Amino acid sequence: MSIDASVRPKRRVRLDSTVIVYIALVVVVVVGAILVNTAGRNFFSTGNIRDILTGMSVLGLVAIGQTLVVLTGSLDLSVPYVISLSSLIAAETMRGNPNNIAQGVLFALAFAAVAGLANGLVVTKLKVNGFIATLGVGLIIKGYLDTNYKGSSGSVPTEFQYIGATGLGPVPISTIIMLALATLVFLFLRKTRMGHHIYAVGGSLEVSRLSGLRTARPVIVAHIICSVMAGLAGLLLASRLGVGSPTVGSQGGYDLLSIAAVVLGGTLLAGGRGSIWGTIGGVAIFAVLDSVMSAIQFNPFLKDVVRGVVIVAAVAIYTGRGLERRRARFSTKEVSR
Amino acid sequence: MSAATTPTTTPAVATRAVTALRTLISPRGAVFLLLAILLVSITALNPNFAEPGQLIRFVQRVSPIAIVAIGQFFVIVSGEFDLSMGSVIAAQVVLAGNLIGQDESKIVPVTVLMIVVGAAIGLVNGLVTTVLKVPSFIVTLGMMLALLGIVYYVTGGSASGNPADSFRELRRGGIRDVPVVGIIPWAVIVLIVTLAVAILISRSPYGKTLIAAGDNVTTQRYSGVRVWWVKTSAFIISSLCATLAGILLVGYAGVHPSVGRGYEFIAITAVVLGGVVLGGGRGWVVAAVAGAFTLEALFTLLNFADVPSTWRDTIQGVIIIAAVAYSAVAFRARRKVSAPQASPSEEKEPDPDGHPAHPAPHTRKSTEVD
């Protein structure tokens, strides 16, 4: 213990929480690979890598958007229903006809953007807590889904199904799209004024307001991007299933899992601190855990137990560090952000 | 409560009537107004509903939700969340189903075990939140995943076990041959007792500390409050309430791992409908229970009005947003009015745009106790 304490201060200066996430990812991969090998399988086989990367793509898309929302200090619990409805809108608009692909994608994303706008406006203009606002908007969409769709509906042309089914070597196209979007959002957060405002509003709403920011805009923008990302996830799922499904979002549990991935990636739930790459690392940890547990034929129900423990343990580690880092917040090194 | 005012004309009574009216349109009173409107509408659609026997059945139906809402109230008012309540219910239901079986002699020990398990879950939730400083949203989310995983692992995802009938009696039976209502179900009595205890708790020094901790942790810490213990005990209360609801639900719904699913969100909705502010520091437990009744009354009304049950969620969504928006707007309006009263020399602040979590002190005092 005493040795630890003397080493710690040095490490703390260097290690960013994103780095820790990737160290954790490496540890999970190594331990997982050993476990999978003892079960007589090859963790690094092309098929397995492809499965893990495929598993990352949908949750990754949702979690990228969720990161933005969490950074502003809000939440988005409506994503599962946005996912489901946009998959349905896309599949019903396309009706198996390749000429309708663009239209289907457009309609689905337009709906998603409207849902995000609604979330953002309720949070900022009506001053409703993000938890309640997005829970409410989610329930509204869920009621619509339950009333109008009894089962899967519409169909997606084969050309569109390729997006979910093909890949470059072991890397699926869907994962490439997800990573490309992650890069875009990363640049958005890093390079644009709005990106910086998202951090500022999440760090302190009051201080941002007193500094002359229009505090509503970053929150609304974050919510719109988040919902559009969920819409993309819905499109991807539609492309995989070949149809639109009213339950595909809620079955995946994407609301809570994406928040868990964001937090696992080192983003503060209270907002203002975090990174996209951390989130992608969190998503990767989930995907690797899933794959390893399937490979060693771990009881599927107990997977959730492991997930739950991992989430809480990870956040406990971050917050333990975060509280100490807080003090250094106004030191000269913090200018970078 | 929705103080029924008699139309007398003495000035004192008049001012009281005005105060009562203002309370009725205030966020914490609005829920009673809404409840009254809903009950009247239900009765208009279906006159049978107003019969005492029917009403008591209604109360019986609401009681598990109301009890869960009471538990959630204590957690929310202290500034935290409990997302694990639904899975605590599921765990307790499965525990009761599998351990009691048809052996009546096991009822008491297993009930004790369930209470211990409930308290332990709350203790873990609370300690991880307060000592390890993990946001309660994440802690209870993790607890929810873990408990549900265990429950599904143990049961294999299907209904299993069947506790002795005398255990189920708590939910099904009651005091029979009561004049007027016919039967007073045990569930109603349990609810009344729980509510009474909850009111006592929230009026006690502990309860006030809890609310104050939700309002401002720092001041509480400086005033020497053991915040970690205050909040942890709120989580314990919440898990115990979920346990109680689980015991009631065993008799009603049987033993299935999906019992209790979604209860945490229903409870949060109910609490929020009751004007309790997410983030803590303000709320009244009776209004939270009224929120649970309002929600169930709303569903009953939709049922009688032949609205497809699939629209329930949509309406619940609209109501919950409207309720919170209303209280946010109302509190801001009150702040505008009360600010000059508190300090008459100051100019009226033009833009109270910040979050309405810090109202004028006297506003808060009035919301704490009845």
Pick the residue of A74, A82, A124, A127 with the most B CBs within 10 A to test the interface with B by mutation: A127
Q: How far is B138 from chain A (nearest CA, A)?
A: 6
Q: B-chain residues within 8 Å CB-CB of A270? A: 135
Nearest CB among B138, B316, B329 relative to A263 is that of: B138
Higher pLDDT, B158 or B108: B108
> Which tens digits make up the pLDDT trace of A258-312?
999 999 898 988 888 899 999 999 999 999 998 998 888 888 888 889 989 988 9
Residue B282 reports pLDDT greater than 60 = yes
Chain B residues whose CB is inside 8 A of the A321 CB are none
Token couple for A119: 């979330």
> Cα distance from A125 to chain B (closest Cα, Å)?
9
Q: What domains does chain B contain, in order, with CATH numbers?
A: 26-334+355-368 (1.10.3470)
Cα B5 to Cα B9, B18, B23, B33, B35: the distances in Å are 11, 10, 12, 14, 17
Of the candidate ranges A173-187, B92-106, B153-167, B301-315, the one whose mean pLDDT is the lowest: B153-167
What separation in angstroms does the CA of B154 have from each of A166, A208, B95, B318? 39, 50, 10, 38
CB–CB of A320 and B355 under 8 A? no
Residues of chain B positioned with their CB less than 8 A from the CB of A129: 278-279, 324
Predicted pLDDT of residue B341? 45
Residue of B nearest to A305 (CA): B146
Of A4-13, A84-93, B59-68, the range with the lowest mean pLDDT is: A4-13
Token digits of residue A101: 């692909």
pLDDT tens-digit series, residues A21-54? 898 899 999 999 999 888 888 888 888 888 899 9
Q: Which two tokens stand for residue B69?
A: 């809402």
B152 to A305: CB separation less than 8 angstroms, yes or no: no
Residue A58's pLDDT band (cuts 50, 70, 90):
very high
Angle A276-295/A254-264 helices, nearest 10 degrees? Answer: 110
Nearest to A127 among B139, B268, B325 (CB): B325
- The distance of B104 to chain A (nearest Cα, Å) reads 31
Closest to A105 (Cα-Cα) out of A244, A221, A304, A218: A244
Residue A135's pLDDT is what? 92
For residue A59, the model assigns a pLDDT of 94
How many angstroms separate the Cα of A63 from the Cα of each of A191, A259, B15, B94? 20, 7, 54, 33
Best residue in A132, A144, A321 for a mutation probing chain B (most B CBs within 10 Å): A132
Of A122, A205, A320, the CB nearest to B355: A205
Q: Contact, B338 vs B352, CB < 8 A?
A: no
Judged by CB atoms closer than 8 Å, whether chains meet at A312 and B355 is answered as no
- Shortest CA distance from A314: residue in chain B: B134
Distance (Å, whole) CA A130 – CA B77: 17
Determine the average pLDDT of the residues in A72-87.
95
Segment A232-269, tens digit of pLDDT: 999 999 999 999 999 999 888 899 899 999 998 989 88
- pLDDT mean over B136-165: 84
Among A43-47, A112-116, B172-176, the least confident range? B172-176
- Mean pLDDT of the B158-182 span: 68
Sequence-ordered alpha helix ranges (H) in B156-185:
165-172
Query: What digits encode the pLDDT tens for the residues B89-107?
Result: 999 988 888 887 777 778 8
The rounded distance, in Å, linking the Cα atoms of B49 and B43 is: 6
Query: Which residue in the set A139, A140, A308 is minimally distant from B145, CB to CB?
Result: A308
Identity of the highest mean pLDDT range in A131-140, B174-183, B263-272, B314-323: A131-140
Q: Do B135 and A315 touch (CB under 8 A)?
A: yes
The band of B84, judged by pLDDT with boundaries at 50, 70 and 90, is very high
Does B344 have pLDDT greater than 50? no
Distance, CA of A33 to chain centre:
25
Q: Search chain A and give the residue with CA nearest B153.
A: A301
Query: CA triplet A107, A116, A21: central angle to 5 degrees?
Result: 110
CA distance B211 to B289: 17
Asked if the model's pLDDT at residue B359 lies above 80, the reply is no
Q: Residue B353 pLDDT > 50, yes or no?
A: no
- A324 pLDDT above the threshold of 60: no
Model confidence pLDDT, tens digit, residues B205-228:
999 999 888 888 888 888 888 889
Indicate the average pLDDT of chain B: 81
Beta-bridge partners for B235? none
Whole-angstrom Cα distance, residue B256 to residue A200? 47
Q: Give, in degrees to the nearest 5, the angle at Cα A162 between A158 and A163.
A: 130
What does pLDDT average to over chain A?
87
- Assess contact for B94 and B147: CB atoms under 8 A: no
pLDDT of residue B368: 37
A99 to chain B, minimum CA–CA distance in Å? 34
- pLDDT, position B106: 81
Predicted model pTM: 0.83
